[in-house]
Amino acid sequence: MSRIRKFGMIMLFGIVGCKSANKNVPVSSNEESMTMDKVRLKDLKENAINMGEYKGKTVFINFWATWCRPCLEEMPSIQAAINKLKNESIVFLFASDEASEDIENFKTSHSYNFNFVKVENLEELNIMTLPTTYIFDQKGKLVFSEMGYKKWDDIQNTDLILNIIKAK
């Protein structure tokens, strides 16, 4: 009987632990009122970034960490997406809550030409998983949010970004 009980517990944890994300749902209901100005960022020299400067542009923010394997695995696909979208009105930001020195060390040891920044309010934004990506429209409203790794250079994902850029 204890083997059956153990097997049942393993199955239960396996089912509960596997979340099926609907990739087509732009934002969850508790994020519907999220605006870009609620994200507090600093550059790597600790200067506050005025998010209002990005109004009128689509803003892609990838929340990541130097120690996060899925974050690092996702970066080449984001670089490829950036290359594909280089003529579009979009800003890509890579936000970590780590020390500026750690981010700088990562930056110098990798060949990405990303705009690395520091996020000051990761918990307040309710970001529980890395990587997490937010995409804000030209008005500064959060229109896409997803936790976890995504292959951003796949055609459906670059089309998703293009549709957000082109929406007025």
Looking at the predicted structure, is the pLDDT value of residue 141 above 50?
A: yes
Q: What is the pTM of this model?
A: 0.82
- Among 74, 145, 154, CA closest to 114: 74
Residue 78 lies in a domain: yes
The answer to whether residues 137 and 145 touch, using CB atoms and an 8 Å cutoff, is: no
**How high is the pLDDT of residue 168?**
73
Looking at the predicted structure, is the pLDDT value of residue 27 above 90?
A: no
Residue 18 lies in a domain: no
**How high is the pLDDT of residue 31?**
59
CA 145 to chain centre: 7
Structural domain for 65, as ranges: 24-166
Residue 4 lies in a domain: no
Environment class of residue 48 by beta-carbon count within 10 Å: exposed (0-12), middle (13-18) or buried (19+)? Answer: exposed
Domain count, the chain: 1
Residue 7 lies in a domain: no
pLDDT digits (tens, 9 = 90+) for 52-74: 999 899 999 999 999 999 999 99
Region 108-112: what's the mean pLDDT? 94
**How high is the pLDDT of residue 33?**
81
Residue 17 lies in a domain: no
What 3-state class would DSSP assign to 161? helix
Q: What CATH number is associated with residue 153? A: 3.40.30.10
Residue 14 lies in a domain: no
Residue 12 lies in a domain: no
Residue 3 lies in a domain: no
